[in-house]
């Protein structure tokens, strides 16, 4: 898999520890490689399309108004 190229510089590696999926959006909890956790609110479609599951290694991409996920 080729790594995603993004202009955002605030990227933190972590592992998904919890997913709570609703009909429209879901919460994805990420345990970071530093001792901290980040929670992202993303669409339920994105969770499905990216095939996100607990235990996946992901990057938390942080913008001023949102936290996105890249895999």
What is the CATH number for 24?
2.40.50.100
> Is position 25 within any domain?
yes
Tens digits of residue pLDDT in 28-61:
998 887 777 888 889 999 999 999 999 999 988 8
* Burial (Cβ within 10 Å: 0-12, 13-18, ≥19) of residue 45: exposed
> Is position 4 within any domain?
no
> Is position 40 within any domain?
yes
Instruction: Check pLDDT > 90 for residue 5.
Output: no
Instruction: Check pLDDT > 60 for residue 23.
Output: yes
Domain tally, the chain: 1
> Is position 3 within any domain?
no
> Is position 63 within any domain?
yes
Rounded to the nearest integer, the mean pLDDT of the chain is 84
Neighbours of 56 (CB within 10 A): 17
Domain that holds residue 30: 11-70
């Amino acid at each position: 898999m080729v790594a995603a190229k993004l202009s955002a510089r605030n990227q933190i590696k972590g592992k998904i520890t919890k997913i709570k999926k609703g009909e429209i959006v879901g919460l994805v909890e990420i345990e970071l490689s530093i001792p901290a956790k980040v929670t992202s609110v993303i669409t339920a479609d994105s969770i499905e399309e990216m095939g996100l599951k607990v235990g996946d290694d992901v990057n938390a991409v942080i913008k001023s108004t949102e936290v996105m996920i890249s895999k």
